Every structure is written in C-alpha cells, then in structure tokens.
C-alpha cells in the first residue's frame, strides 16, 4: 500500500510540474509574441508586457495564446506607406491549417480543466488508504500526462524558435 501511495504522489507531482511547464511556456511565448515601440521604448514596453503576463493564470494564458498567437489564415499583408517611421512592431503568430479554431479551443480548454481537476478536485475523488482509489487515480493521471506531454514538446519547439528569433531582434536593435 505504501508503494502504491508513493507512486501516486510521485505522479501527482509530475502532473503538477507538467502543468507548470505549460504555464511557463505560454508566458514565455506571449511575452515575446508582440514587441512594439521605438528603439528607445522597446525594452520598457517589453518589461511592462512581461509584468502583466507573469500575473496571469493558466486559463487566462490559454485565452491570450488562442487570441493573440493562434491564427487560422495567413494575414501577413501590411501597409508599407509608413516605412520611414521608426516605430517597430514584431508580431508572432502560428498559422494552423490542419486544425480548426474549435479544435484548438477544445484542446486548451481540456488542458485548463484537467489542471483544475488536479489542483482543486483530485482530493475529493481520492480515498486515503484505499488501494483501488489509488489505482484509479494513477490511471487517470497517467492518461492526463500522456495526453499533454506530446503537445508540450510541440509548444517547446515553438518556444525555442521564438527565443532564437527574439535574440535576433535584440541583436538587430543593439547593432549600431
């Protein structure tokens, strides 16, 4: 029984860390997905955006991610009539052509719902000292982890690409 309990506690910890990794990754992506300002205000604007986003919950981050980054058509047309203006605006979007908006919304709603279950409701479904309750929760948490670990890898790849692009923007801004 002790071994089963320890296995469950370990899986709960891994699941919580998985959700924290999502939260951290969404924050990183959102902070860097929009860089706006003049050469003199880019850093300050970045810091302000960073502070605002750092305070968001996973549900709020998912909504921002879906509204600000996820796109379903290529709208990269822009006006170049103001090409001499020194205002910079870098916007990062992901264009999904193999998923619908409803599918993306559903996937990340499920992420938030599963996170809320683990953080707020898991204890109400767990009977302390009951081996069958522990086994049932192990099965449920294993399924949650499996479902979201693959997607996290994809988001982390995007995160790395954005980090590289962001570094290039900083280097460009600092070049004189």
Q: Give the per-residue pLDDT at 109.
A: 93
Q: Give the per-residue pLDDT at 83.
A: 46
Q: Give the per-residue pLDDT at 134.
A: 93
Domain containing 69: what range? 2-160
In a domain, 110, yes or no: yes
In a domain, 173, yes or no: no
In a domain, 171, yes or no: no
Residue with tokens 């850093």: 43
In a domain, 71, yes or no: yes
Q: Give the per-residue pLDDT at 71.
A: 72
pLDDT tens, N- to C-terminus, the chain (176 residues): 889 889 999 999 999 999 999 999 999 889 888 877 777 787 888 899 999 999 999 999 999 988 887 776 655 554 544 444 455 666 767 677 777 888 888 888 999 999 999 999 998 988 988 999 999 999 999 999 998 888 888 888 888 888 887 777 667 666 65
In a domain, 175, yes or no: no
Q: How far is the C-alpha of 149 from the C-alpha of 155, rounded, in Å? A: 10
Distance of CA 163 to the CA centre of its chain: 14
Q: Residue 19 corresponds to which tokens in the numbers above?
A: 């959700």
Angle between helices 131-174 and 2-32 (to 10 degrees): 20
In a domain, 53, yes or no: yes
Angle between helices 101-116 and 2-32 (to 10 degrees): 130
Q: Give the per-residue pLDDT at 79.
A: 52
Task: Enumerate residues 6+ apart whose C-beta is below 8 A from 175.
Answer: none
Count of structural domains, the chain = 1
In a domain, 111, yes or no: yes
In a domain, 174, yes or no: no
Q: How far is the C-alpha of 107 from the C-alpha of 65, rounded, in Å? A: 12
């Amino acid at each position: 029984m002790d071994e089963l309990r320890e296995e469950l506690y370990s899986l709960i910890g891994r699941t919580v860390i998985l959700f924290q990794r999502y939260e951290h990754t969404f924050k990183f992506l959102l902070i860097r997905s929009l860089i706006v300002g003049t050469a003199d205000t880019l850093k300050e604007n970045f810091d302000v955006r960073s502070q605002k986003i750092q305070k968001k919950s996973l549900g709020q981050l998912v909504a921002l991610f879906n509204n600000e980054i996820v796109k379903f058509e290529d709208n990269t047309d822009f006006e170049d009539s103001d090409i001499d203006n020194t205002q910079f605006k870098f916007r990062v979007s992901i264009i999904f052509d193999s998923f619908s908006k409803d599918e993306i919304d559903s996937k990340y709603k499920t992420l938030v719902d599963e996170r809320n279950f683990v953080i707020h409701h898991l204890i109400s479904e767990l009977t302390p000292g009951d081996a069958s309750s522990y086994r049932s929760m192990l099965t449920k948490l294993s399924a949650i982890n499996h479902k979201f670990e693959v997607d996290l890898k994809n988001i982390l790849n995007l995160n790395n690409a954005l980090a590289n692009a962001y570094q290039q923007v900083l280097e460009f801004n600092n070049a004189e």
